[in-house]
Amino acid sequence: MKLWDKGFSTDKKIDHFTVGNDRELDLHLAKYDVIASKAHAKMLGKIGLITSDETDALVNELDGIGKSIAEGTFTIEDSFEDMHSKIEFLLTEKLGDTGKKIHTARSRNDQVLVAMHLYLKAELSEIKSQTKTLFDLLMDLAEKHKTILLPGYTHLQIAMPSSFGLWFSAYAESLIDDLYFIDAAYKVADQNPLGSAAGYGSSFAIDRSFTTQEMGFETMKFNVVAAQMGRGKVEKATAFGIANIAATLSKMAMDICLYMSQNFDFISFPDELTTGSSIMPHKKNPDVFELVRGKCNKLQSIPNQLTLVINNLPSGYHRDLQLVKEIIVPAIQDMKACLEILTFSLKEIRINENIIEDPKYDYLFSVDTLNELVQNGMPFRDAYKKMGEEIKAGTFTPKRDIKHTHKGSLGNLCLDEIRKKLE
């Protein structure tokens, strides 16, 4: 069944190519098409295009379809083009002519748009919740390990003292920046496009304010052409939000892979969170974190993929826009999986508390030793030269009893302030 069926069939090759994997992807969106269809049915009843009995019948049947979706029994067979055609078929099968009225005053274009907006709102909220859970864990780890020193590196060379408190809370605060982009994407998605029909509105006197309120949108996309132009744009906004979180997770995963290596030996995880080698019995590989790194690097390409699909399209609908669904839906699933597995794994992290006892980390303290000379009256440039000469001569003695007090330093992590920033 196709919503545009006029009594003739397309070639099977054409049908297969144009439908693509929409049926599979639509299983993620079908719940939201039902929500939008219920709002649309109620609106049709409100303005008198269908009777109150027809409205009730449509809403009841849609509730039943929604239940089957929630239970996982809803399917989209090959005989149907997408979720829209399957849902309309079920309504018509049960209600006859009443079911045929559900498509009055709307197009598949605004059906897809409103389902995607509702889907993205829900998924962005879930991603935000998962990110908050990871944030809380990182902040707890920062508090727990705040006094344990960790070598800081620049250019992968030993640089200055850091701490596990700094390391964990750095990634936590970075996630706040990422959530600003998620909030921006949510604001774009929180606009009702239903009523734009094929992109030019309808001659029916529909009540778009009613459906906006009924579906819980903050506002509507008022201009019907602008609403249609939002297809691809709302997905791209979401992709930018995901890409920012992915960049943070990828960087942390890379740190973890480095810190787990025997050359660093800063952290470890229980055996059950690592994998082995088929020939090397000693191996404890960080496969989980390598996959997080790889998946998150892929996710950072999603905004560019979407740009390449939509960047030179004129206004109005074009079939190219179907392709954005197969880019954004899997990306969202990967983002949630990475957040979940990273949170799960970090709960079991083990910290090496004696890292800086190794003599190779003596030079971590060169700056603090230099600064003490400056505080005792020596000009900075003279102190710098003196320290360089001692290091070169091998006579350098590090000052290990360091004290950093300014805001954001390892002695003053500002954890409460970071938590307040998230709130």
Going by pLDDT thresholds of 50, 70 and 90, the confidence category of residue 78 is: confident
> What would the mean pLDDT of 386-412 be, rounded to a whole number?
89
CA distance 416 to 56: 52
What are residue 153's phi and psi, to 5 degrees? -125, 145
> What would the mean pLDDT of 80-86 be, rounded to a whole number?
90
pLDDT reading at 6 higher than 70: no
pLDDT for position 276: 60
pLDDT reading at 193 higher than 80: yes
CA distance 128 to 134: 10
**Least confident stretch, 58-62, 91-95, 403-407:** 403-407
pLDDT reading at 278 higher than 80: no
Q: Return the residue matching tokens 């709302």.
A: 234
> What would the mean pLDDT of 158-181 be, rounded to a whole number?
96
pLDDT reading at 329 higher than 60: yes
In the predicted model, what is the mean pLDDT of the chain?
Answer: 91
CA distance 332 to 27: 14
Contacts with 76 (C-beta within 8 Å, 6 or more apart), sequence order:
23, 26, 27, 30, 82, 83, 86
Higher pLDDT, 56 or 280: 56
> What would the mean pLDDT of 330-347 be, rounded to a whole number?
96
Going by pLDDT thresholds of 50, 70 and 90, the confidence category of residue 273 is: confident
CA angle 151, 277, 167 (to 5 degrees): 20
What percentage of the chain has pLDDT greater than the value 70?
A: 93
Kind plus residue range of the DSSP H or E element containing 161: strand 157-163
**Least confident stretch, 18-32, 99-113, 225-239:** 18-32
Residue type, 185: A
CA distance 118 to 358: 55
Going by pLDDT thresholds of 50, 70 and 90, the confidence category of residue 9 is: low
Q: How many CB atoms are located within 10 Å of the residue 62 CB?
A: 23
> What would the mean pLDDT of 208-235 be, rounded to a whole number?
96
285-304 pLDDT tens trace: 888 999 999 999 999 999 99
Collapsed DSSP state (helix, strand, coil) of residue 304? helix
Q: How far is CA 134 from CA 11, 270, 300, 346, in A?
A: 50, 19, 19, 9
> What would the mean pLDDT of 371-381 be, rounded to a whole number?
92
Full set of structural domains in the chain with CATH: 12-104 (1.10.275.10), 113-146+164-204+222-354 (1.20.200.10), 358-422 (no CATH)
> What would the mean pLDDT of 338-351 be, rounded to a whole number?
96
Task: Dig out the tokens for 417 from the structure.
Answer: 């302030």
pLDDT reading at 239 higher than 50: yes
pLDDT for position 162: 94
pLDDT reading at 380 higher than 90: yes
pLDDT reading at 198 higher than 50: yes
Torsion sign across C-alpha atoms 64, 68, 70, 76: negative
pLDDT for position 16: 52
**3-state DSSP of 311-366:** CCCCCCCCHHHHHHHHHHHHHHHHHHHHHHHHHHHHCCCEECCCHHHCHHHHHHHH
> What would the mean pLDDT of 381-398 be, rounded to a whole number?
91
Contacts with 196 (C-beta within 8 Å, 6 or more apart), sequence order:
107, 109, 110, 113, 221, 224, 225, 227, 228
393-403 pLDDT tens trace: 999 888 888 88
pLDDT reading at 334 higher than 50: yes
What percentage of the chain has pLDDT greater than the value 90?
A: 78
pLDDT reading at 366 higher than 80: yes
> What would the mean pLDDT of 27-35 be, rounded to a whole number?
95
pLDDT for position 39: 97
> What would the mean pLDDT of 94-121 be, rounded to a whole number?
95
